Amino acid sequence: MKYIDPHIHMVSRLTDDYERMAHAGCVALSEPAFWAGFDRGSALAFRDYFRQLTEYEPKRAAQYGIRHFCWLCINAKEAEDVELSREVIAMIPEFLDRPNVLGIGEIGLNKNTPNESTIFCEHLELAASRDELVLIHTPHLEDKFKGTRMILDMLKNESRLKPDRVCVDHAEEHTIKHILDAGYWCGMTLYPVTKCTPQRSTDLIETYGTDRLLVNSAGDWGPSDPMAVPQLILEMRLRGHGEQTISKVVHDNPFTFFSKCRRFKAES
């Protein structure tokens, strides 16, 4: 089955992963800008990272017939440094019109601090003023519930951003309803130990339906599996869901969300 992984950090994966994903049916993916595993020393390091996301990775993906899209921002963890964040935000417009950029992301909260909230709102301001899509990271573990609710409050205050142009990611059992009820797209991350399993994601699809739901692997530097979306496809099949229903979640929904970006073309 053809699928799209709407959240995966390919800069931290091997070329072999592109090949395995292509074998499993991956036709496109999107890569949000994130933390590199260490705090970067200057805004210049982000400039190089944005070049990697907009110049190099699309070529590496194309070797396996996979379309590569990306999102730009300074991640929530490094957003604690407000001065650095503002330098990076000021640089983003230079890259926004590159053809594989879908919008601003993954912005969000990490430890739910005032500095993170300030920089989150400044990213929202940039997205609203440029009419860009937004992809949002919600915090991990004990911080997720509070952080997700804070994010929804801040989104509500930015009335220029239409809910159907925003995806709130890393949803789990205690946050999914809040996100969907507010009208946003909602991502579920299949990630060992700290997020959702294919079984639990399928439970949530059965509970909340397939509208505005996306499923991703978030494959990155940490223990994660770039083949997680095919695992969800298998789980849904084994539970008796039809191919059309599965395809809506793993292909049509991300395609529809990406299509809202004016730079996105249905065919490459």
Partner 1 sequence: MAQQLTAKTALDRYFLETRCKIIEIAANLDRIDRGDGAAAAVQDPRMVQIREAVQTLLGDGPGRAEKCQLVFSIPYDDGWSPPNSK
- What residue ranges bind partner 1 (CB under 8 A)? 112, 114, 117-118, 121, 124-125, 141-146, 149-150, 153-154, 157-158, 172-174, 199-200, 203, 205-207, 209-210, 238-241, 245
Q: Using CB distances below 5 to 8 A depending on partner kind, what does residue 241 bind out of partner 1, Zn ion, none?
A: partner 1
Q: Is 191 in the site for Zn ion (CB under 5 A)?
A: no
Least CB distance to Zn ion at residue 216 (A): 8
Q: Using CB distances below 5 to 8 A depending on partner kind, what does residue 190 bind out of partner 1, Zn ion, none?
A: none
- In one letter, which amino acid is 256? T
Q: Using CB distances below 5 to 8 A depending on partner kind, what does residue 157 bind out of Zn ion, partner 1, none?
A: partner 1
Rounded to 5 degrees, φ, ψ at 57 are -60, -40
Q: Could you check whether the bond before residue 122 is cis, i.e. omega within 30 degrees of 0?
A: no
Least CB distance to Zn ion at residue 19 (A): 22
Least CB distance to Zn ion at residue 24 (A): 20
Q: Using CB distances below 5 to 8 A depending on partner kind, what does residue 96 bind out of partner 1, Zn ion, none?
A: none
Q: Using CB distances below 5 to 8 A depending on partner kind, what does residue 83 bind out of Zn ion, partner 1, none?
A: none
By rule CB under 5 A, what string of x and - marks binding of each residue 43-72 to Zn ion?
------------------------------
| Cβ pair 236, 246 in contact under 8 A | yes
Per CB under 5 A, residues contacting Zn ion are 34, 218
